[in-house]
């Protein structure tokens, strides 16, 4: 009886570790959002800043010096307003999620004892799917000559979905 209560307490603690680790990871991502300015086809990174506090836009003359005066409209027609690079945010969120799940699953593995939890089993498979997606992405990148990673967000989403689905299917059997 006491061992069963201890086992349930450990599993509940492990679940809370997963939730808190994910919340901390996403909070870190929200405080380090990549920002950029875009004028026609020319873009420039303006750094990382919190989501709620965008950085100051660059001076127009500095923007023109970086890109040359090839087809840029005059300064009066340009609004250099920083915008969030959502693709960068999504990539950072996937990396942070991978780290958070790795930490939480490590903690769970250390304290779980003999008891296996179905929910954490699915979370573990989602982490494995995300890891496999990262390996596939880097392998394709190297195989294609290093011209940029081939859609890491798509592969990460597929890895999370397939890993989570595999965990649910294996849990049902």
**Could you tell me the pTM of the whole model?**
0.80
Beta partners for 36?
45, 83
Q: Which two tokens stand for residue 155?
A: 């592969």
For 112-151, the pLDDT digits (tens) are 756 677 888 889 999 999 999 999 988 888 888 777 767 8
Task: Give the pLDDT of residue 94.
Answer: 92
More confident residue, 101 or 5: 101
User: Is 100 in contact with 21 (CB distance < 8 Å)?
Assistant: yes
CA dihedral for 47, 52, 53, 57, sign (positive or negative) = positive
Handedness of CA 48, 51, 56, 57 (dihedral sign): positive
Instruction: Decide if 34 contacts 93 (C-beta within 8 A).
Output: no
- 22-75 pLDDT, tens per residue? 999 999 999 999 988 877 667 777 889 998 988 887 777 777 777 666 666 776
Per the CB < 8 A criterion, the answer to whether 109 and 35 are in contact is: no
* More confident call, 112 vs 13: 13
Higher per-residue pLDDT: 107 or 41: 107
Buried b (16+ CB within 10 A) or exposed e, 41-55: eeebebeebeeeebb
pLDDT attached to residue 2: 47
């Amino acid at each position: 009886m006491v061992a069963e209560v201890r086992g349930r307490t450990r599993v509940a603690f492990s679940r809370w570790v997963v939730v808190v680790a994910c919340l901390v990871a996403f909070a870190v991502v929200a405080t380090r959002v990549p920002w950029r300015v875009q004028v026609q086809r020319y873009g420039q990174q303006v750094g990382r800043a919190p989501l709620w506090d965008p950085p100051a836009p660059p001076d127009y003359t500095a923007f023109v010096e970086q890109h040359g005066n090839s087809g840029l409209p005059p300064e009066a027609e340009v609004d250099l307003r920083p915008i969030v690079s959502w693709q960068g945010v999504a990539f950072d969120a996937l990396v942070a999620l991978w780290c958070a799940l790795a930490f939480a699953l490590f903690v769970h593995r250390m304290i779980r004892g003999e008891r296996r939890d179905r929910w954490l089993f699915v979370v573990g498979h989602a982490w494995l799917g995300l890891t496999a997606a990262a390996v596939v992405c880097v392998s394709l990148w190297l195989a294609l000559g290093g011209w940029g990673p081939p859609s890491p967000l798509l592969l990460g989403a597929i890895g999370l979905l397939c890993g989570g689905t595999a965990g649910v299917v294996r849990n049902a059997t």
